[in-house]
Amino acid sequence: MSGKSAKANRRAAKQHQAAPKPIRAAQRRSTTTAGSRTRLVVTSLLVVGAAVGGLYLLSNRNHASTGTSNGNSGSYPYQVGAPGRGAAAPDVKLPATTGGTFDLASYRGKKPVLLYFQEGLTCQPCWDQISAIEKDRAKFAALGIGPIVSITTDALGQITQKASDEGLTIPVLSDDGGRVSDSYSARDFGMMGHDRDGHTFVLVGKNGTIVWRADYGGAPKYTMFVPDDELLAQLRRAIGAQA
């Protein structure tokens, strides 16, 4: 091989080795661009997430605006919907699982009445709540509370069978259509949107005004069972404050 040929071959080899450099530079630019795009996507997702979170918090604040916030600390936080304490209790006249019709007005001037709005057939803890109250019925009576009734938007036949299966004697009222529930805004504080009641307790005094109210079924915890000791403590404080 001549000297010129050898030099030509060496020159070609060097050019071949140098060729990948622009490719590597292009790859680095591509990687940098991809990284920038990834950071942009992540940043956009964080912004969207923050916006959604803000809307959720705003929605919750608007949701709670039907009443005043109360009892929001501790293991069993609750809200207070409208009508609240001191307001006249809307009429309750509904068919009961125990037969006949329950009429809240008939207890005016006699005994305070505890209303318990609950989700209904789809919520076993709600029925466990009634069973627990029934077992401690004497403790509620010791506070001067008269009738205790539960209210759900399920049909009478369905809840009558359920009450029988659970062995309940506390009347469960059928508010089919939700007219009474809506008059107490009970469907504003549950995990099922406006389809069902949440987990709301309303104590109506014998003068027909609301003494105490607690909407446990709303955000953020959506509580569907409250121990009787907690309920009794809340009721005791409310009745004591009224005295």
User: Which tokens hold the place of 202?
Assistant: 């309303």
Each residue's pLDDT tens digit, 173-224? 999 999 999 999 999 998 877 889 999 999 999 999 999 999 999 888 899 9
In the chain, what are the domain boundaries?
A: 3-54, 78-242
| pLDDT grade for 242, boundaries at 50, 70 and 90 | confident
What is the CATH number that goes with domain 78-242? 3.40.30.10
Overall pTM surpassing 0.75 (yes/no): no
| pLDDT for the residue numbered 243 | 66
Higher pLDDT, 128 or 24: 128
Q: What percent of the chain has pLDDT over 90?
A: 62
| pLDDT for the residue numbered 213 | 98
CA distance 175 to 95: 8
Residue whose C-alpha is closest to residue 95's, from 33, 175, 9, 212: 175
CA distance 173 to 156: 7
Give the contacts of 227 (CB within 8 A, at least 6 positions apart).
76, 132
CA distance 232 to 123: 22
